[in-house]
């Protein structure tokens, strides 16, 4: 999705792909095949490039440090990226810079979890510190035996570090997308609401409906503080919980998760904002002036296409675009698998109920649901 923006700006993209049939390889001409942990492949990738950036966080930080030492512009660099790779490092640093997050602690033994559960009086959420995505590596527990497998694996040295945090009684999930360039300029897009189903983002509403002024100000301030405090370059997505204020004032936010790259919560910007997150990421990592982040419509709703009963979602394309000429379809060229993010649809307009219904209907048709 970065390709059209790069083409328009005259930027040559070279992308390392794990497979020659991957989504990126279908649209980027210069797409060598290799693993993100293969030093030789990365060295060949950066040859002659102005900057190295990422579309996922699973990259070896020691190698990135060596590249920086060799004069390669790595954006974001390993020191920033680690906060999107390791939930314990991230929470420790957010605590240190005063960003509100759920009550948490690292977990090294079962007794610590028993103590924490006794303190919070009920349910808590145990998470693997590394490698989780789309809710994998997240378990709601009421008793420590429910994560006995993870604790045993960690104790034997085969597992990954764990943390536990309070189960937050949130009213909804919000996200703020922010871009920062090395010379310091920062821009945020409007706060959005993200609707999750089974730990996966299903829908994003931009801007978040009925957002209180105080909540909006806090969300934007927190995202900016994180981008600056962690030295992020490029696009950063900050996922948050909205929680009722204890004093009955405007709802507050608690930060849950960070992604240092264009993110699903920002796909609406492809059609709904003056500058998309993909163009902005390129501008930011190249240290170009950032683009206007204003919305183009009162509302934009992004609906994900999660799995499909069709052999290929393009089988429904004629019907989708025929029914709704304003729906913007983005398909990723992926093989259909149950629940897999195959694409998304953006619909913009002035009536939220109508915009939401049309985005959902289009995504449902692409999933192969006839009465969507």
Known binding-site residue numbers for ATP: 87, 127, 165-168, 173, 256-257
Instruction: Tell me the residue length of the chain.
Output: 372
The reply on whether position 195 binds ligand ADP by CB under 6 A is no
Half-sphere exposure of 200 (CA within 13 A, CB side): 13
Site for ligand ADP in 1-20 (CB under 6 A): none
> For residue 357, what are its two tokens?
């219904």
Helices of type H across 101-191 = 110-120, 148-155
How many residues form the binding site for ligand ADP (CB under 6 A)? 19
Report, in Å, the least distance between residue 309 CB and ligand ADP.
25
CA atoms of 372 and 354, how far apart (whole Å)? 14
CA 28 to chain centre: 22
The reply on whether position 182 binds ligand ADP by CB under 6 A is no
- From the CB of residue 350, how many other CB atoms can be counted at a distance below 10 Å? 9
The reply on whether position 288 binds ligand ADP by CB under 6 A is no
Report, in Å, the least distance between residue 147 CB and ligand ADP.
14
Give 118's contacts (C-beta < 8 A, 6+ positions apart): none
Report, in Å, the least distance between residue 269 CB and ligand ADP.
20
Name the strands in the sheet holding 138-141, side by side, starting at the edge strand that comes first in the sequence: 104-107, 162-166, 124-128, 138-141
The reply on whether position 257 binds ligand ADP by CB under 6 A is yes
- Which residue number, 32 or 199, has a Cβ lying nearer to ligand ADP? 199
CA atoms of 301 and 273, how far apart (whole Å)? 12
The reply on whether position 138 binds ligand ADP by CB under 6 A is yes
Applying CB under 6 A, the span of 135-143, 153-161, 216-224, 312-320 interacting with ligand ADP comes to 135-143
- Which residue number, 17 or 222, has a Cβ lying nearer to ligand ADP? 222
Kindly list the residues in this chain that would bind ligand ADP in the complex (CB under 6 A).
Answer: 102, 125, 127, 132-138, 165, 167-168, 173, 196, 199, 239, 256-257
């Amino acid at each position: 999705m970065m390709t059209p923006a790069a083409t328009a700006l005259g930027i040559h993209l070279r992308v390392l792909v794990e497979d020659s049939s991957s989504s990126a390889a279908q649209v980027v001409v210069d797409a060598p095949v290799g693993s993100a942990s293969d030093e030789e492949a990365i060295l060949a990738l950066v040859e002659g490039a102005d900057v190295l950036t990422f579309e996922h966080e699973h990259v070896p930080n020691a190698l990135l440090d060596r590249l920086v030492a060799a004069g390669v512009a790595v954006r974001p660099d390993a020191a920033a990226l680690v906060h999107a790779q390791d939930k314990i490092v991230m929470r420790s640093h957010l605590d240190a810079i005063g960003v509100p997050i759920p009550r948490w602690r690292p977990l090294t033994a079962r007794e610590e979890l028993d103590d924490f559960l006794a303190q919070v009086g009920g349910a808590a959420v145990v998470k693997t510190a590394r490698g989780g995505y789309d809710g994998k590596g997240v378990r709601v527990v009421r008793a420590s035996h429910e994560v006995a497998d993870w604790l045993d694996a960690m104790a034997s040295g085969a597992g990954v570090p764990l943390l536990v945090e309070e189960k937050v009684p949130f009213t909804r999930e919000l996200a703020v997308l922010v871009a920062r360039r090395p010379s310091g300029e920062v821009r945020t897009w409007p706060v959005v609401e993200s609707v999750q189903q089974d730990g996966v983002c299903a829908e994003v509403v931009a801007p978040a409906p009925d957002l209180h002024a105080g909540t909006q100000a806090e969300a934007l301030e927190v995202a900016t503080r994180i981008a600056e405090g962690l030295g992020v370059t490029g696009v950063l997505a900050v996922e948050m919980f909205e929680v009722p204020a204890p004093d009955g004032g405007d709802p507050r936010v608690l930060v849950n998760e960070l992604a240092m790259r264009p993110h699903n919560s920002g796909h609406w910007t492809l059609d709904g904002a003056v500058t998309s997150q993909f163009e902005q990421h390129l501008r930011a990592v190249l240290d170009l002036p950032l683009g206007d982040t204003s919305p183009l419509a009162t509302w934009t709703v992004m609906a994900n296409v999660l799995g499909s009963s069709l052999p290929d979602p393009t089988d429904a394309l004629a019907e989708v675009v025929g029914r709704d000429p304003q729906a913007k379809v983005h398909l990723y060229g992926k093989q259909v698998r149950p629940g897999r993010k195959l694409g998304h649809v953006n619909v913009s307009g002035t009536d939220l109920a109508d915009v939401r219904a049309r985005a959902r209907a289009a995504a449902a048709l692409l999933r192969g649901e006839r009465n969507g």
